[in-house]
């Protein structure tokens, strides 16, 4: 069973924006993988609002052995940022750096996913509202995935027993690609 199968009905939610719009492009490594040709469409079909009055639909995925392995690999490669505030700081710093490079080169970057937010499934409404704001601010390069596990399971997976993690930021295009491909391989 893939990470996109399981408890999904495949229906979109009217009145919400998709976290993965038609103009959103996945990393080239993912787009060039024949097995992932429908991944963007599959993610969009499994998207739902983060909270009751949310306007941004975020794909919900299952934690499969392949996804677990990809997250552990990203963690061991120091390509995971833990927590909302640290992720927010990292994204803002990266945004400033990208703007500086664009200004110096005179060339604007394309809009391609280069970061993933992995969100636990048991946060409070306020937390999800804040996550929605963060995703909106960085929508041109950040894709959020709501993992069907609670913060304890997510924390235990990477940080050890009795640890919690409500949100993870996966950095670096290879780690992001590996996690996205794990959704297909699951």
pLDDT in tens, 55-102: 999 999 999 999 999 999 999 999 999 999 999 999 998 888 877 776
What tens digit of pLDDT does each residue of 131-145 get? 999 999 998 889 999
pLDDT at 6 over 80: no
Q: What is the pLDDT of residue 22?
A: 44
Compute the mean pLDDT over every residue in the chain, rounded to the nearest whole number.
86
Structure-model confidence comparison of residues 156 and 102, the more confident one:
156
Mean pLDDT of all residues in 22-28: 74
pLDDT band at 186 (very low <50, low <70, confident <90, very high): low
pLDDT at 13 over 50: no
Mean pLDDT of all residues in 20-32: 76
Q: What is the pLDDT of residue 95?
A: 81
In the chain, the percentage of residues whose pLDDT exceeds 70 is 84
Q: Contact, 63 vs 3, CB < 8 A?
A: yes
Mean pLDDT of all residues in 154-171: 96
Cβ atoms within 10 Å of 114's Cβ, excluding its own: 21
Q: Contact, 181 vs 4, CB < 8 A?
A: no
φ/ψ of 10, rounded to 5, equals 75, 5
Strand partners, 144: 117
pTM of the model: 0.85
Alpha helices in 77-121 (DSSP H): 84-105
pLDDT band at 24 (very low <50, low <70, confident <90, very high): low
Q: Contact, 143 vs 136, CB < 8 A?
A: no
Q: What is the pLDDT of residue 139?
A: 85
**Domain 17-185 - what CATH class?**
alpha beta
Q: Contact, 135 vs 182, CB < 8 A?
A: no
The span from the CA of 163 to the CA of 157, in Å, is 9
What are the boundaries of each domain within the chain? 17-185
């Amino acid at each position: 069973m893939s990470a996109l199968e399981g408890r999904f009905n495949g229906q979109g939610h009217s009145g919400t924006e998709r976290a993965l719009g038609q103009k959103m492009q996945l990393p080239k490594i993912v787009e060039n993988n024949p097995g992932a040709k429908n991944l963007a469409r599959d993610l969009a079909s499994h998207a739902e609002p983060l909270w009751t009055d949310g306007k941004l639909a975020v794909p919900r995925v299952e934690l499969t052995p392949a996804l677990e392995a990809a997250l552990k690999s990203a963690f061991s490669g120091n390509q995971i940022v833990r927590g909302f505030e640290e992720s927010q700081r990292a994204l803002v710093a990266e945004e400033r750096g990208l703007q500086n490079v664009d200004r110096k080169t005179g060339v604007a970057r394309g809009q391609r996913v280069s970061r993933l937010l992995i969100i636990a499934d048991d946060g409070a409404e306020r937390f999800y509202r804040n996550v929605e704001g963060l995703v909106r601010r960085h929508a041109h390069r950040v894709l959020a995935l709501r993992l069907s596990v609670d913060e304890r399971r997510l924390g235990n997976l990477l940080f050890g027993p009795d640890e919690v993690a409500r949100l993870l930021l996966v950095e670096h295009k290879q780690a992001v690609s590996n996690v996205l491909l794990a959704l297909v391989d699951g």
